[in-house]
Structure 1
Amino acid sequence: MKTKFLIIITLLTLFVLPSQGQTQQDSIRNTTQQIEKQIKVLQPQAPIYQLFPTENIWALIKLDTRNGKMWQVHFTISKDGYEGELVLNSNSLVWTEEEEEIAGRFTLYPTKNTYNFILLDQIDGRTYQVQWNNEKEKRFISRIY
């Protein structure tokens, strides 16, 4: 009787304990995965488009932060004022297939000159002079070497 009892306890120990350990590992793994998902959700995403103020209270520059495309945005509060977007740069500044269009890649920095900004590629460091203006022939973007 004593031998049967020891055999039953031994068998129960061998079968019950490993299954409980596995359950705890699965539970820990699931909890870890849930925490990782929550962390990913909480990480801020860089915006695709950003507006940068100019010295002109009626004009801003809209930048596609993935590829450096830009528009001069005008708004008005009067019926006679100009409202709309003018193209500053319609070409992607991400040149090769190896490079990626990543949100937040490009950003603008104002200069002391009212009509000029510096565009920075924050991945490879390329810089560009950006000049906005109401007159088309005075608007341009030029690589700074």
Structure 2
Amino acid sequence: MAQIYQILRFYPYLCIPYELLYLNNKISYISKKNRKNLINNIKHSKMRKFTTFTVVFLCATIGLAQTKQSNQQAPKDAVLNKIDSLVQITNAWLEQIELDHSLKQRYKLYQTENIYTLLQLDTKTGMIEQVQWSLDSENEGSVTINNDDLNYGFGHGSGSFELYPTKNMYQFILLDKTSGRKWHVQWGMKTKERWIRRIY
């Protein structure tokens, strides 16, 4: 860049001597009046050439600089786009893993002291069913103890609720592990013996 600047700086002076040599050969044929005009024309011509050359050079330099800048910006944008895509893919993958884990851990079965009776808990909502199994298919089935969503649709995912047995075989305590709320749960063979109530 410094060398180009030096050439531009001395460009007019480098070119004038050749014109003067040309003038010296023809000087005897030109009148004094026309000599000044000829010299002025040469100077103006040189100035126009120098100005034109400078403008073209500056335009080329600015264009080159902008091209380099845009070329440098393009790889940065491409890298940022790739990073953004990877982050989105990773987030979607993690959400899917969390969803799979949540769905797989949603329901749990709890044994009672009655070998034919279990309690099924929806650990996301707190809903409970009493499950009866038997070798006779006519005696198998399930009945609902709690059909209400105890999180009112604003749950924290699977694993929010847990059942804890007591010393009484028919009595369980249902705990909301996210808020500490508790319910007294009883299972039984008759409808009036199956119920749930909040413990305050």
TM-score by length of 2: 0.58
Separation in 2, partners of 1:35, 1:93 = 33
**Aligned equivalent of 2:150:** 93
**Aligned equivalent of 1:112:** 167
Shift >4 Å, 4+ stretches: none
**Aligned equivalent of 2:92:** 37
1:100 Cα deviation from its structure 2 partner: 1.6
Are the counterparts in 1 of residues 156 and 178 from structure 2 also a CA contact under 8 Å? no
Change (3 A) 1:89 1:14: closer
Secondary structure in 1 aligned to 2:139? coil
**Aligned equivalent of 1:139:** 194
1:77 Cα deviation from its structure 2 partner: 1.4
Change (3 A) 1:93 1:32: closer
Secondary structure in 2 aligned to 1:22? helix
Cα displacement string for residues 50-94 of structure 1 (whole angstroms, at most 9, x for unaligned residues): 322222221111223343332211011136x62111222234434
Separation in 2, partners of 1:63, 1:112 = 19
Matched, 1:82 2:136: no
Report the identity percentage.
Answer: 30
Higher-helix-fraction structure: 2
Secondary structure in 1 aligned to 2:102? coil
Moved more, 106-115 or 7-16: 7-16
**Aligned equivalent of 2:28:** none
Which structure is higher in RCO with an 8 Å CA cutoff and minimum separation 6?
1
Cα displacement string for residues 14-34 of structure 1 (whole angstroms, at most 9, x for unaligned residues): 221111111111111111221
Equivalent position amino acid for 1:38 in 2: W
Secondary structure in 2 aligned to 1:45? helix
Equivalent position amino acid for 1:69 in 2: M
Equivalent position amino acid for 2:109 in 1: L
TM-score by length of 1: 0.77
- Structure 1 residues not aligned, in runs of 5+: none
**Aligned equivalent of 2:46:** none
Secondary structure in 1 aligned to 2:81? helix
Moved more, 21-30 or 31-40: 31-40
| Count, aligned residues | 139
Change (3 A) 1:113 1:38: same
- Structure 2 residues not aligned, in runs of 5+: 5-56
